[in-house]
Structure 1
Amino acid sequence: MTELVPGGIDGAIEERGFIADVGEEVGVLHIEDDGSFAELVSTFLERQRDYFAVETETDPQATLERLDDADVDCVVCDYDMPEMDGLAVLEQVREAYPDLPFVLFTGKGSEEIASEAISKGVTEYLQKGGGTEQYEVLANRIEQAVARYRAEQQVTRGFHAIETSHDGISLLNEDGEFIYVNEAYADITGYDREELLGTHWEVLSPEHETGKTNEEILAAAREGEWKGRTVYEQKGGNTVDVDHRLTFTTDDTMICTIADVSAAEAVREELSLKERAMDEAPIGITITDPAQPDNPIIYANDGFVDLTGYTREEATGQNCRFLQGEETREEPVAAIRDAVDNAEPVTAELRNYRADGDLFWNRVSIAPIGDADGSPEHFVGFQQDVTERHAVEERHEQWIQLVQEFADVLSHDLKTPLSVIQGRVELAQETGDTAHLACLDEPIDRMTELIDDAAAVMETGELVSEEAPVDVAAVAEDAWLTLAAEGASLTIADGPPTVPADETALQRLFENLLGNSVEHGGDAVSIRVGGLEGEVGFYVADDGPGIPEEHADDVLDPGFTTKADGTGFGMASVAQIVAAHDWQIRVGEAIDGGARFEVVVDTA
């Protein structure tokens, strides 16, 4: 294929300006056992060409390992080195990298060495010496070798693209004879490639089409380009309709491209079907192009538009991170970034923002689409709204936490009536006075209420069920009667309001608040319940030891207690009931130094 380029590779290099425009970084591996000389060479080369990046290796046996690990465009190697000379290095490099530019830069030169180097495939042979101008010569040789190497790679890639193209491609000389056909061209025409080479194009033209081709089509192609639909006569006499394109190069070589109309239409129908399927898919689909800066979106389906609220025009050209914001966690973003950098598939869930600013949970799956060499040509992304699933999971976790905490609190709340029952039974057993058993009705009823309360919570997932107007003072007095608090006193001050509440839950709240005062204040503690000034709510205050300032923020936490035998769940029960009613609770200090708890009912 290279002979088809005017002037060959050298012509291609000169014509396309490779020598003048190498521009992009050139990696040079310099193999030299003398470290000081190697440093000098690196300095001069990088001074001569600022886009040279020179790495030095003083151990020639490590050359292949360095080539495997580094991005090298050219090897510059000394000849006279201990253990392994430059020709042995060249031989190793050629086995692994047959086309990589290799410059033998040696102070010990001879025709014999030069001849052997050429036979082993050296790119350039240059002797040291002659002052600093030798480095300019070396830089030129490296630059030309790399330019040639890159040009050959480009031509090779172009030839590979032509060879593997789905379209039929052929080249014809100025006499109209085929000088090249690719596999697809031969398949469409029904001939072997060798059968077409050297034959005239008229072998494929039905007799009634030949005149039109000569008079109209070729004349138009010579003016620049002709494209349209024609009929080809295949080997064996059948005909095929082809989409046809003709143009001429400056050296009068005709380039002919054809596509089987029926096959092309089938491909178009298949692509159309796939595109419709992607557009109508119930999830977001995007395709990005890593060859462009920042890997932007080049396709977004209707599902993506519906999911994000952004139009195709707004999304196209942007990196997918434009959906991220303040609430987007870095961990899933980093996982996606690392997978894309390594061309690996990945699935992650992250918080994204819609066009209107709303947050949603996005399950993102990304996979690379490789080209013929396996390199990532595009990335396809699938986006799915999983906000509802996350909400269900969150409610499930909250429910588990509620049940766990409620079980702990309930076990605490049951201890009060249970201890009363145990005490009365023991007294009856010790004294034989069955009158003590008559006092069991109230604690038994209280335990029944708590058990019913627990069943309701388990069934509904709520600590509070139906709310109705409840007299706070009356509930406080009922709760006081459940406590064995001989010597302690409760005073109902003016002002406890009637509030909308679950009466059973409110009684549990008071049992725990009043019980807390008795537990910490002792038998002589005085407790006061009243209404709040300027707010709808009530307080419970005592003249006990109060709450140490360092624990004021902790008393409502599950498990917190300052007593060695305490459970720490009494006040947690209070906090649960307050939260379930959408109330607020404040912890403070009473006028006489004791503890004061304020429950604000109307928080509007």
Structure 2
Amino acid sequence: MTDSFPGGIEGAIDEQGLIADVGEGVSVLHIEDDERFADLVSTFLERQRDYFTVETETDPRAALDRLEHADVDCVVCDYDMPGLDGLEVLERVRAEYPDLPFVLFTGKGSEEIASEAISKGVTEYLQKGGGTEQYAVLANRIEQAVARYRAERQVTRGFHAIETAHDGISLLDEGGQFIYVNEAYADITGYDREELIGTHWDVLYPAGELDRAYNEMIPAAREGEWRGRTVYVRKDGDTVDVDHRITFTTDDTLICTITDVSEDEAVREELSLKERAMDEAPIGITITDPEQADNPIVYANDGFVELTGYAREEITGENCRFLQGEETRAEPVTAMREAVADAEPVTVELRNYRADGDLFWNRVSIAPIRGADGDPDYFVGFQEDVTERHAIQERHEEWIQLMRGFGDVLSHDLQTPLSVIRGRVELAQETGDVGHLEDIDEPIDRMAALIEDVAAVMETGELVSDEAPVDVAAVAEEVWQTLEVGDASLALDDGTPTVAADEDALRRLLENLLGNSLEHGGDAVTIRVGGLDGEAGFYVADDGPGIPEAERDDVFTPGFTTKEGGSGLGMASVAQIVAAHGWEIRVRDGIDGGARFEIVDVEA
């Protein structure tokens, strides 16, 4: 019967007892409380087999914890250790991993220990001592144990696949009697499995088909294989059309495979519908195979191809991490890796890269597709481009921050015209001279313009709307006329530029810069406005006390002020307007050590 299971136990070990496919490597967990001896064992084992990887734990409890999270092919364990001895470790390993190779490698040997180890399921029992040749023996025992373990696991998977196959599968002996039938075979024929075992195959054939079976099908199968369509008689007397395949093994065992034609066509139609639905889904869909090395993609739909920009042949066989790059954060990647390791569903959002290098936000949902034994046979992944949603969310957050800052600085900017209005009204009330009220038209107009600015910002989400050529000197002169300047003076350089700007926003900027110089420079401060030499932009400078270098980085921070009772919002307003235009501002020494603000990267 061995021939009916290609690649079985014998096929996994070569003539010398070595693992045929060493490309996978062998991971050994060595539990040994003596660190020096543990290092020696690791060195010799890895010299004996270059595909061995030996990890050592000196604490048996820590070793058991590691076993839960590491992919280990074999455990090599000492007997006499503090906390837990080797037999106690063996007992706990067997409770969780009944078939994992376990070698008890101990210097304290006795028939009693050996007997108890065997009763608890030890794979190999080996005593330390005798020189370096013991490591060659240990390496050989590990190698053969792992080979058997992998081969048995392969056979188990193969048998499980036969048991759960959609097709009916049966084995018959030389006399034509059933010696094995899977569940699907019994379902198609209508018999219980136990009823068919020991029964001759001719019970399933109507009289008209028996001659064909003996004269055509069996002879062709002995020559290699027979395929075709036949009619079976079910236990209840009904007939069923089956696609039929029979062949013989070298030991004369007959292998028979059948498929219910009507059911198969229905299944094919259902699978075709599902496959079309997956292929045409507006999101990316992938299926990966955890039984293969590195859990590669074995299916990718058209949506995934379109989403990533990679050709299907570039995708198949790759792990999904090929979409990751420098901007991919570690947290969602770790969450996906841990969920796959634990066979649990997970949903994350992370930055991925398309084939052309473009970044996009990918919403990834992964779920295991479990087999009858509960273990994941595959993982299905759904990928959706959510870049636009992230952009909307980022714009929303920026809007919130903009409104918070804008509200503060706007209230500050309103104070100047409001103070003028209050002052003129008070003078008119005190003196009875209504002429003072003539001077409030301009600040009222200014407040009206600021209110319009508020409406524009609320509507567009931008501090700067329409930009047009604006003469900086002309606007500075207009602003100067609205300020309480006392004995201060304003000088405008001939080279003061005309710039592309939102005129109302530029006026607010100059109000704050000129007002700052008046506020800090004293009664007779001199202020100069002009163009920059060799670069596009303009400056506002004064001969006041200046700004210490240590404070220049903080001067535009909302709330920062050096004046008692100051709001610290004037310069924050300037910074907002500069940034909204795409300009930059820097602080330099001004006239005779005063302050100088330079606005650069300005479009002339």
Do these two structures clear the TM 0.5 threshold for a shared fold by scoring above it?
Answer: yes
Matched residue count: 591
Deviation sequence 1:537-578 (CA, Å, 0-9, x none): 443222112232333344334333333332222122223223
Letter in 2 for 1:324: Q
Shift of 1:282: 0.5
Where do 5+ consecutive residues of structure 2 fail to align? Answer: none
Match for residue 239 of structure 1?
Answer: 239
Could you say which residue in structure 1 is the equivalent of 2:269? 269
Instruction: Tell me, in whole angstroms, the C-alpha distance in 1 between the residues paired with 2:386 and 2:301.
Output: 18
Structure 2 counterparts to residues 439-588 of structure 1, below 5 A? 439-533=439-533, 537-588=537-588
Partner of 2:300: 300
| 511 and 325 in structure 1: CA distance in 2 versus 1, 3 angstrom threshold | same
The one-letter code of the counterpart of 1:507 is R
The alpha-carbon distance between structure 1 residues 411 and 126, as it changes in their structure 2 partners (threshold 3 A), is closer
TM-score (norm 2): 0.81
**8 Å contact kept, 1:586–1:598:** yes
State whether structure 2 residue 11 is matched by structure 1 residue 21.
Answer: no
Match of 2:178 in 1: 178
Separation in 1, partners of 2:541, 2:67: 81
One-letter code aligned to 2:397: E
Which range is displaced more, 406-415 or 586-595? 586-595
Q: Aligned letter for 1:291?
A: E
Look up the equivalent residue of 1:489 and give its one-letter code.
S
For the residue of structure 1 that corresponds to 2:483, the secondary structure is coil
Aligned-partner residue type, residue 396 of structure 2: H
Match of 1:190 in 2: 190
Instruction: Supply the AA of the counterpart residue of 1:256.
Output: C
d(CA) in 1 for partners of 2:443, 2:363? 54
Letter in 2 for 1:414: L
Cα pair distance change 1:214/1:475, threshold 3 Å = same
Question: What SS does structure 2 have at the residue aligned with 1:210?
Answer: helix
Distance 1:300 1:411, change over 3 A: same
Q: CA RMSD in A?
A: 4.6
Q: Is the 8 A contact 1:346 1:365 kept in 2?
A: yes
Distance in 2, Cα, partners of 1:532 & 1:585: 12
For the structure 1 residues 16 and 190, does the alpha-carbon distance in structure 2 shift closer, same or farther, using more than 3 Å as the test? farther
Return closer, same or farther for 1:353/1:99 CA change in 2, 3 Å cut-off.
Answer: closer
| 1:596 aligned partner | 596
Q: Contact conserved, 1:233 with 1:239, CA < 8 A, in 2? A: yes
Distance in 1 (CA, whole Å) between partners of 2:127 and 2:529 is 103
**Relative to structure 1, is the Cα distance of residues 67 and 305 closer, same or farther in structure 2, using a 3 angstrom cutoff?**
closer
> What does residue 405 of structure 1 align with?
405
The superposition leaves residues 417-468 of structure 1 with CA deviations (integer Å, 9 ceiling, x where unpaired) of: 2223333444455556555444433333332332232222222322233344
User: Over alpha carbons, which structure has the higher Rg?
Assistant: 1
Question: Cα distance, 1:285 vs. partner?
Answer: 0.7
Instruction: Report the CA distance between 1:91 and its aligned residue.
Output: 9.7
* 1:260 aligned partner: 260
Distance verdict in 2 for CA 1:564–1:338, change over 3 Å: farther
Compute the displacement of 1:520 (Å): 1.5
Moved more, 68-77 or 269-278: 68-77
Partners in 2 of 1:161 and 1:569 — Cα distance?
73
Query: Shift of the alpha carbon at 1:364?
Result: 1.4
Deviation at 1:413, TM superposition (A): 0.8
Secondary structure of the residue that 1:374 maps to in structure 2?
A: coil
Q: TM-score, normalised by structure 1?
A: 0.81
Alpha carbons of 1:442 and 1:15: their partners in 2 closer, same or farther (altered >3 Å)?
closer
Matches within 5 A, 1:97-496: 155-428=155-428, 435-496=435-496
| Conserved 8 A contact 2:26-2:73 | no
Contact 1:369 1:377 in 2 (8 A): yes
Structure 1 CA distance for aligned equivalents of residues 538 and 280 of structure 2: 59
* Cα contact 2:46–2:54 (8 A) shared by 1: no
| CA distance in structure 1 between the aligned counterparts of 2:439 and 2:231, rounded to whole angstroms | 110
When residues 465 and 186 of structure 1 are mapped into structure 2, their CA distance, relative to the original with a 3 A threshold, is closer
Greater shift after overlay, 85-94 or 288-297? 85-94
| Residues 47, 553 of structure 1: alpha-carbon distance in 2 compared, 3 angstrom cutoff | closer
Return the offset for 1:280: 0.5
Equivalent-residue separation in structure 1 for 2:442 and 2:269 (angstroms):
82
Separation (CA, whole Å) in 1 of partners of 2:125 and 2:599: 93
Secondary structure of the corresponding residue to residue 420 of structure 2: helix
* SS of structure 2 residue aligned to 1:383: strand
Distance 2:537 2:93 in 1: 88
For the residues of structure 2 that align with 1:471 and 1:54, how far apart are their CA atoms? 75
Compute the displacement of 1:384 (Å).
0.8
- Identify unmatched segments of 5+ residues in structure 1: none
Give how far 1:124 is off: 9.2
Q: Which shifted more, 515-524 or 582-591?
A: 582-591
Letter in structure 2 aligned against 1:383: Q
Distance verdict in 2 for CA 1:413–1:188, change over 3 Å: same
Deviations 1:498-541 (A, max 9, x none): 44443322221221111011112111101122344555544322
Change (3 A) 1:544 1:40: closer
Q: Letter of the aligned partner of 1:364 in structure 2?
A: V
Tell me, in whole angstroms, the C-alpha distance in 2 between the residues paired with 1:129 and 1:490: 96
Deviation at 1:121, TM superposition (A): 8.2
Contact preservation (8 Å) 2:172, 2:178: yes
Residues 1:145 and 1:45: Cα distance change in structure 2 (over 3 Å):
farther
Q: Which has the higher contact order (CA 8 A, sep 6+)?
A: 2
**Which whole-Å CA distance do the structure 1 matches of 2:513 and 2:225 have between them?**
94
- Tell which deviates more after alignment, 428-437 or 564-573: 428-437
Q: Which moved more, 1:591-600 or 1:357-366?
A: 591-600
- Name which of structure 1's ranges 570-579 and 126-135 shifts more when overlaid on structure 2: 126-135
SS in 2 for 1:592: helix
Q: Secondary structure at the match of 2:541?
A: strand
Whether the 8 Å contact between 2:546 and 2:595 is mirrored in structure 1 is yes
The 2-side partners of 1:45 and 1:569 are apart by 72
Please state how far the C-alpha of 1:152 moved relative to its aligned partner.
5.6
* CA deviation vs aligned residue, 1:246-296 (integer Å, no higher than 9, x gap): 121111111111111111121111111111000010001111222222222
Rounded Cα–Cα distance in structure 2 between residues aligned with 1:360 and 1:349: 10
* CA deviation after TM superposition for structure 1 residue 30, in Å: 9.2
CA contact (8 A) 1:584 1:603 kept: no
Pick closer, same or farther for the CA change 1:68–1:396 going to 2, 3 Å. Answer: closer
1:45–1:52 Cα contact (<8 Å) kept: no
- Residue range with higher mean Cα deviation, 564-573 or 239-248: 564-573
CA contact 1:48–1:139 (8 Å) conserved in 2: no
Instruction: Name the % identity.
Output: 67
